[in-house]
Chain A
Amino acid sequence: MHPALLGILTIVIGVLVCISYFYVSNWVLDHLIFPAKGSKAGRNINRANMIRPWLFLFPALLALSVYLVYPIFETLFLSLTERLPGNHYVWAGTDNYTQMLADPKFAEALVNNLLWLLIVPAFSTAFGLLAAQLTDRISWGNAAKSFIFMPMAISFVGASVIWKLVYDARPAGQEQIGILNAIYTAVTQNDAQTWLTQMPWNSFLLMVVLIWIQTGFAMVILSAALRGIPEETVEAAVVDGANPFQIFFHIKVPQIMPTILVVWTTITVTVLKVFDIVYAMTNGQWETQVLANYMFDKLFRANDWGVGSAAAMVIMLLVTPILLLNIRNARREME
């Protein structure tokens, strides 16, 4: 069957199955198990209403358990075992972890990841805040925002191609077609550099790609927060003779601090998962390795599920503080 046809068929079947599941299960509950009539009508309605939420939740909970909760435990298990030929698993204790910690590539990935964690959220948030503050005050601000926001729609792979052209290097004597080298050779009169192989700059050049993508996200959220600031606080500062910089840093920024934190943590999570950019641009060569790509390397190229899973657990561990923070915030909000 043609895959497109298969896709359409899947949509139709999937949607039909979903709707009929919800419809039929509700009907069965209301008419067969706890009919809302006869002598027990009142009690039946109450009982049906106790069960109904779970009917609504069941498909989602099933999918979440299988696709997100179960893998956490399975990965933990895999990271503590050794896979032998024929799909046998033997207990390995912390062997995978000690092996991983001794791997210089892992140390490199960890250090790089920490750098990514420091730099990308900081610059994205800073640029986002700057863009939000500047564009909010001009007539064509929304159009400007659109363009800064646009990279959010572009895939990491697409962005990698875009930036590889920026960093492109041609041999000396040829016309440079990458803008970075065109400027570099024109200004310094040196030969063109193959930037992506030059340590330690190459890691930063990869980070630029993610900063370029995430700035739009930061800008959109922070712009909404800036608009939410009560006018009176700004007006009071103006009356007191504060200059625009003082107003921005002493009046506005403190008031949107919670939002800045949200933006920061959201980008942090994105950074921890970043895989495509490194995979597409350097594949971790020239000391640009990061955890997610290291893990992919171990799992699918070295076929070492033990160490690969251990690396995945390290990513999970790094995400956990944010996970707990988010849960705490969400619970506070619900109360």
Chain B
Amino acid sequence: MFSNHSRSSLKWVLHLSVLFLVALWVFPTAGLFVSSFRTVDQIGASGWWASMFPSEQNIIGRTAKPETQQLIDNLYVIEGNLLVADKEMTLSKWGTSSKAIDVYQVGQTAPLRRGGSITVSENGHYKVESKQPLSGSRGQRVFFTATVAPHFTLDNYKKMLLDKSNVEGMASAFMATMTVTIPATIIPILIAAFAAYALAWMNFPGRAILVAVIVGLLVVPLQLALIPLLKLHMNIGIGKGYLGVWLAHTGFGLPLAIYLLRNYMAGLPRDIIENARVDGATEFQIFTHIILPLSFPALASFAIFQFLWTWNDLLVAKVFLIDSSGQTTVMTAKIVEMLGTRGGNWEILATAAFVSISVPLIVFFALQKYLVRGLLAGSVK
């Protein structure tokens, strides 16, 4: 047995190792999530993990044009602020040449090549002074190092979801995914529920073999089905539209649906069904009035599985849903496209990916109970 001391230190090790494990598992997702709220400049300037803390950035600013100068006390003066209004920054060092960007401290005054001098203060305020009128068409460039407070923005989401002129927008892809997912989730449930009831509660020759076949079909790779079904769809005129995807998802989802529901229904109390039969209820009534309501947890489990699977699917959509106008491109397919064309643009990729991930995550956290139950029932024991 352990002493109290070693037991409590063991407890600490336990808590810490679980914490470590959780952190390891959440960290990658957190990275993408945080990045989707940062601007291009921020993403390029520092790792996302640094975004919670103030960061140092080298920024190029420009004073106002010489035409705005005013004559005050015999000096020509231009005043203004170098910082962009909506960001909280503090300047530390600055310079007036790209070769020497950090030679002056805030509050110091530097001579200008074109005559006169410039003073820059910590809050970004600058003052150009000259005895001669300032000339030229553009303002003076100022290079400065600024400490930028953590800053997050919703602009990426606005651009990817609301901006109609953005051809990379996810709004239509989101609708396409929805359109694929919802019918592809509901239709197989109905078909499977009837079949599962027959397999669980009706006696007929060949029942055991059918169950075995369905268990076997659970693991058949759907890769096998791609070309034959595409051929079939083309031959019977379904083509590469939504109908084809719905049918394909229905077919591929059925083995799991039947298996899950049959297992659950077979576990329902025999008395209820026998009593209903004795009372003269038809099988159809027993099914709709007794079995279906009682099987709700299993129906919910499968619905979540099928929803996650169809929402997240890439392969079936890529094969069975092709439209030259791109109107039916689902989110996963669109994101893969962007991975190819926009490899380094993390603000776009992160936002697009999170638009697609967010819905399953919400479903996951809201209905986790059913998902776990389904997993436990669904793994072949």
Contacts and interface: CB of A to CB of B under 8 A. Distances in A.
A32 interface: no
A221 B376 contact: yes
A210 interface: no
Given A4-B179, A175-B45, A273-B221, A156 B381 contact: no
A75 B182 contact: no
A187 interface: no
Given A177-B46, A221-B379, A266-B379, A26 B319 contact: no
Contacts of B222: 273
A81 B341 CA distance: 37
A72 to B, nearest CB: 6
B315 interface: yes
Nearest to A281: B339
Contact of B327 (A3, A150, A269, A316): A3
Nearest to B312: A155
Given A131-B21, A161-B349, A327-B215, A52 B29 contact: no
Contacts of A249: none
B161 to A, nearest CB: 16
Contact of B224 (A50, A154, A312, A323): A312
B254 interface: yes
A297 B311 CA distance: 23
Given A7-B179, A18-B191, A266-B379, A153 B361 contact: yes
B149 interface: no
Contacts of A144: 18-19, 21-22
A316 B221 contact: yes
Given A18-B187, A71-B224, A165-B350, A57 B28 contact: no
Chain B interface residue number, banded = 35 or more
A161 B21 CA distance: 21
A273 B357 CA distance: 21
A334 interface: yes
Given A26-B283, A154-B361, A273-B221, A280 B339 contact: yes
Interface SS majority for chain A: helix
A69 B213 CA distance: 10
B328 interface: yes
Contact of A147 (B22, B31, B179): B22
A122 to B, nearest CB: 17
Given A4-B179, A15-B187, A266-B379, A164 B339 contact: yes
B75 interface: no
Contact of B223 (A61, A64, A158, A275): A275
Contact of A175 (B44, B204, B223, B363): B44
A262 B208 contact: no
B77 interface: no
Nearest to B327: A3
B220 A10 contact: no
A23 B349 CA distance: 49
A56 B18 contact: no
A130 B252 CA distance: 33
Nearest to B246: A10
A150 B25 contact: yes
B356 A158 contact: yes
A7 B216 contact: no
Nearest to A3: B179
Given A316-B221, A319-B219, A327-B216, A165 B32 contact: yes
Instruction: Pick the most buried of A50, A151, A154, A241: most chain B CB atoms within 10 A of its CB.
Output: A154
B357 A155 contact: yes
A281 B343 CA distance: 10
Interface in B1-28: 1, 10, 14-15, 17-19, 21-22, 25-28
Contacts of A4: 175, 178-179
A315 B221 contact: yes
B85 interface: no
Given A4-B179, A322-B219, A15 B186 contact: yes
B336 A280 contact: yes
A312 B223 contact: yes
Contact of A299 (B21, B227, B252, B284): B227
A64 B217 contact: yes
Interface in A92-117: none
Contact of B186 (A3, A11, A130): A11
A323 B315 CA distance: 22
Contact of B251 (A64, A154, A220, A326): A64
B299 interface: no
A272 B220 CA distance: 10
B314 A156 contact: yes
Contacts of B182: 7, 11
Given A4-B178, A155-B313, A312-B226, 13 more contacts: A6-B242, A19-B190, A30-B282, A57-B195, A60-B258, A71-B224, A78-B228, A152-B308, A155-B311, A155-B360, A162-B29, A175-B44, A275-B223
11 contacts: A53-B207, A63-B250, A67-B251, A70-B228, A74-B227, A151-B25, A154-B357, A162-B353, A176-B47, A319-B221, A327-B216
CB-CB nearest 4 A-B residue pairs: A67-B251, A155-B312, A60-B195, A153-B364
Interface of B: 1, 10, 14-15, 17-19, 21-22, 25-29, 31-32, 35, 43-49, 175-176, 178-180, 182-183, 186-187, 190-192, 194-195, 197-199, 202, 204, 207-208, 210-212, 214-229, 231-232, 242-243, 246-248, 250-252, 254-255, 258, 282-284, 287, 308, 311-315, 318-319, 327-328, 332, 335-336, 339, 346, 349-350, 352-353, 356-357, 360-361, 363-365, 368, 371-372, 375-376, 379-381
